[in-house]
Structure 1
């Protein structure tokens, strides 16, 4: 373990007191505007770390420090408290240390701070619990995240004519990767420290300190736009998706109006009803059916055209305008299924209760505000314009990931 100054020889002692997690999320990101709430794999970026922090159970409170109302709303939707930082620590030049110190001055009860970076979406609750133990029980005053890298470093050439020199290797005896342990680098995922270190030492890394080595696949940091697509693939494969394991999906439920259609209805001068369906969405539903997943369509109104389309797609249809939970639970009992086996995509307030209960949940980009707050997968597309197929692909990917993780544990 890496350690700090001569205090490292001090005997370990438990550290007590209020333990708070804080995520710094300023609204004025220069690289990516409002980066902290930009959707990553269908979830606001900050949501990934908030979900991990809250589900870890390691903290007495979880906070987001921000200067932006939209970030505050997202934080509260995920169950975090909001600390509205002052203008003095909301500038481009303000440091993380200054921002955390301001938070501690306003919250004298807090004795330990877990500073978690919003830009590290592959953080898992288990990592947080282990680090909390290192501070609570092992007596470390500071623990920070590192990742192991196998990269050879060379000196930088400052002037023309200079030669570069190796920093961490002998070019005549270049080691094979399997023969070299590599080096530890801060990955920026988190910095945990006691109040004493932050306020008295005026530092985030001091006193009796050590590191926590994260798995390479969990070591993801987003700084600029070019990182985004890579991070999205990593988080879909290695991210933390919630307490309950995704084991199987037997039923896929889709609200027709606003999800399978764009919510518009056309009438001829003879009173005939016309509705447009996106064939890409229909193809997505066929993929589910090929996997043996039952597809159920929900309609808010008794429409013959919806019934006809459901018949063509080989789907069952339910009609319910308000109490969709009661209606769907009747179907679940009939099929001997549970909510843990349901994937649900909806877009209106009448869908919120079902979205809350479903194991995998999705909403189109243009869903109502209440539906967007359900910590669902937020599609990049609007309803009727490919959102259903996008959510289908997400569900199938989640099942594939769960299967791969399960097989790894049994090896």
Structure 2
């Protein structure tokens, strides 16, 4: 093929791609405006301040907002709330906030009433909503791809309502009216077919519902017209209504979401149990000696060369903390009881947002600092509460290269 022919072919391909993009854009325009609405009250009985509790180091409401923003086809993300802190977190994450009146903010308030109110508020401001994606922040693992497909199905009018569900082959039972006996629901109790011989059922997860706004207003319910299922993985189906479910969700986040890259502008670490293995030897004169990792030293050197700030923040007053910091050539604040205030002050001093800082800790005195940074990180052998609070759980233990592991996730490959 000659150069001219190659250029012609390339031009034709580029033209076809542009036409395809224009067609897709036109389809989206014809489908109308898609608005994600996330109801998030401030009150909660089962789990106090539930929508602000963290899973994978990120508040539940922020997780829902991020997923909606990343999903394809959603034009606007709205959080309906009565709570100032939820509003602030939502806006910082990129959502628009609709203030919900007290009359529809109680325990018995339906999600439908919150959605209708949000739609009315948007309409009053001149914002049209043709398709609604209703997300629940209490479902921390909303699959972005499944949500995008559901939005596309409703936008392209292949369905009026789509909801998240996972496949199940479970045998369901109910108690009889007098609660004296069990009654088979989805099977014949006298016949026990193998799994491969049964048709699956689908269990609603509560994670998201996508529907046409006009049909929702008419039905005043999320299920109407042609209803379709958006199948999601079963592990994503957990919905947080109590503390036990919150702990399970945090364990799942550590298992499924620990990222290889940690895109931050600064690293702050504890000392004992992070740079050390959390043990010490004491000689006859009362002098403590600790064990550190040479790997960590090399990692800090690489971080320093890359120009990324680092701070050691420790409650210990022991001279060994200062000696190690001097050896690493990084600043240290030790003898610090209030790590949160110290970290806020340092971040302001160096001009780096808390959202752009990774804090590496191992024990409960690190929790206040872990809760305010964008990237809370735990060593592999951290306290269970620290593991629950972490967005990233490292594979290495304190004193055994954990600092180096975090640095390698921060630095470009």
CA distance in structure 2 between the partners assigned to 1:208 and 1:197 by the alignment: 11
Shift of 1:146: 0.9
- TM-score of the pair, normalised by structure 1: 0.66
8 Å CA contact 2:376–2:392 kept in 1: the answer is: no
Q: Which runs of 5+ in 2 are unaligned?
A: 1-26, 279-289, 302-309, 314-318, 334-342, 380-384, 397-413
How far apart in 2 are the matches of 1:149 and 1:250? 38
Q: Does the alignment pair 1:74 with 2:74?
A: no
Take 2:134 and 2:68, find their aligned partners in 1: how far apart are those partners? 10
Corresponding position of 1:394: 393
SS at match of 1:20: strand
Superposition RMSD on alpha carbons, in Å? 4.1
* Corresponding residue for residue 228 of structure 1: 246
2:276 aligns to what? 282
Give the 3-state SS of the residue equivalent to 2:248 in structure 1.
helix
Instruction: Choose which of 155, 161, 171 in structure 2 pairs with 1:152.
Output: 171
The answer as to whether partners of 1:280 and 1:389 remain within 8 angstroms in 2 is no
Residues 55 and 389 of structure 2 are in contact (CA less than 8 Å); yes or no, is this contact kept in structure 1?
no
Who is 2:129 aligned against? 110
Give the whole-Å Cα distance in 1 for the aligned partners of 2:386 and 2:245.
24
Deviations along 1:341-370, one digit per CA (max 9) or x if unpaired, are xxxxx6532466376567x666854349xx
Q: SS of 2:204's equivalent? A: strand
SS of the residue 1:396 aligns to: coil
Shift of 1:139: 3.5
Residues 97, 203 of structure 1: 8 Å contact kept: yes
Unaligned 5+ segments in structure 1 are 1-11, 261-276, 322-345, 381-385, 398-411
Structure 2 CA distance for aligned equivalents of residues 154 and 280 of structure 1: 50
Q: Deviations over 1:363-397 (max 9, x none)?
A: 854349xx93x6333879xxxxx979986972338
Q: 1:13 to 1:316 in 2, by over 3 A?
A: closer
- Paired residues of 1:288 and 1:392 also in contact (CA < 8 A): no
CA distance in 2: counterparts of 1:122 and 1:286, whole angstroms: 39
Aligned-partner SS, 1:207:
coil
Using the alignment, how far apart are the partners of 2:389 and 2:225 within structure 1? 49
Q: Find the aligned partners of 1:291 and 1:179 in 2 and give their Cα distance.
A: 56
Post-superposition offset of 1:316? 2.7
Greater CA deviation, 162-171 or 187-196? 162-171
Q: Describe the shift of the 1:80–1:362 C-alpha distance in structure 2 as closer, same or farther (beyond 3 A).
A: farther
Alpha-carbon spacing, 1:134–1:393, altered in 2? closer, same or farther (3 Å): closer
**Structure 1 residues 228 and 197: alpha-carbon distance in aligned structure 2, compared to 1, 3 A threshold:** same
Which residue is equivalent to 1:141? 160
Q: Which of 25, 38, 42 is 1:27 aligned to?
A: 42
Q: Residue by residue, what CA displacement relative to the aligned partner does 1:175-194 show, whole Å, maximum 9, x if unpaired? A: 23344343111110111111
Aligned counterparts of 1:91 and 1:65: Cα–Cα separation in 2: 13
Question: Which residue of the partner structure matches residue 201 of structure 2?
Answer: 183
